[in-house]
């Protein structure tokens, strides 16, 4: 095998596997959670800023708990948890499937937000966003590979899938902010 082919195979092995195109039902589950969070955010009191929040760890945790009920990031894992509960077990196969399904939904959202953000930015901002996204992809892939290189066992699979789901969801939410 040529060196280039080996490099391509190595890169493919590092990328956490994402499920096929997500179903309408999977998209709807995440959409519903995000819509509920947005609705609750409209009804919530304005968030406290750094000067209003109680100081120290207790104050930070209290403010985070208050925000969690309407924070879009609270939707990360909503589809996966429902999927796992429906299956009624936490076998590696179930965890891999459920985390992968949710990661696929967030990946679609991330790509759509990325395209929308690029379309509204001037050249310098768009160039920097491309650079940022490429760096993020490399970071995500390396980060999510860590369980495999650390544990070298079957438990690494669900850890990698969860990592890909979690990081892709958070990046999708961040990117949506640039697209809005």
Residue 69's pLDDT is 84
Residue 50's pLDDT is 84
Residue 75: exposed, middle, or buried by beta-carbon count in 10 A (0-12, 13-18, 19+)?
Answer: buried
Distance in angstroms (rounded) separating the CA atoms of residues 109 and 76: 13
Q: How many CB atoms lie within 10 A of CB 93?
A: 13
Residue 17's pLDDT is 46
Q: Is residue 33 predicted with pLDDT exceeding 50?
A: yes
Residue 47's pLDDT is 81
Predicted confidence band at 36 (pLDDT cuts at 50, 70, 90)?
very high
Distance in angstroms (rounded) separating the CA atoms of residues 20 and 104: 7
Residue 3's pLDDT is 47
- Token pair 């379309």 in the structure block, residue: 119
Residue 21's pLDDT is 92
What tokens were used for 26? Answer: 């999977």
Residue 67's pLDDT is 87
Identify the DSSP state of 20.
Answer: S
- For the stretch 47-93, pLDDT in tens is 888 888 889 999 889 888 888 888 999 999 999 999 999 999 999 99
- For the stretch 1-21, pLDDT in tens is 444 443 343 344 344 444 479
Helix pair 92-120, 123-151: axis angle to 10 deg = 170
DSSP-based three-state secondary structure for 100: helix
Contacts 24+ apart (CB under 8 A), 61-68: none
Q: What is the pTM assigned to this prediction?
A: 0.84
What tokens were used for 156? Answer: 């690494």
- For the stretch 101-160, pLDDT in tens is 999 999 999 999 999 999 999 999 999 999 999 999 999 999 999 999 999 889 999 999
């Amino acid at each position: 095998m040529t060196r280039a082919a080996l490099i391509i195979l190595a890169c493919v092995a590092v990328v956490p596997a994402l499920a096929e195109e997500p179903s309408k039902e999977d998209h709807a589950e995440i959409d519903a959670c995000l819509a509920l969070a947005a609705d609750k955010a409209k009804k919530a009191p304005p968030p406290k800023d750094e000067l209003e929040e109680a100081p120290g760890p207790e104050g930070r945790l209290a403010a985070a708990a208050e925000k969690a009920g309407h924070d879009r990031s609270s939707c990360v894992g909503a589809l996966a948890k429902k999927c796992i509960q429906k299956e009624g077990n936490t076998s590696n196969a179930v965890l891999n499937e459920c985390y992968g399904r949710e990661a696929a939904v967030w990946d679609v959202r991330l790509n759509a937000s990325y395209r929308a953000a690029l379309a509204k930015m001037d050249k310098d901002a768009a160039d920097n966003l491309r650079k940022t996204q490429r760096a993020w992809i490399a970071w995500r892939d390396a980060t999510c590979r860590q369980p495999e290189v650390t544990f070298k066992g079957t438990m690494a699979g669900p850890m990698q899938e969860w990592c890909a789901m979690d990081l892709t969801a958070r990046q999708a939410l961040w990117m949506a902010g640039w697209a809005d």
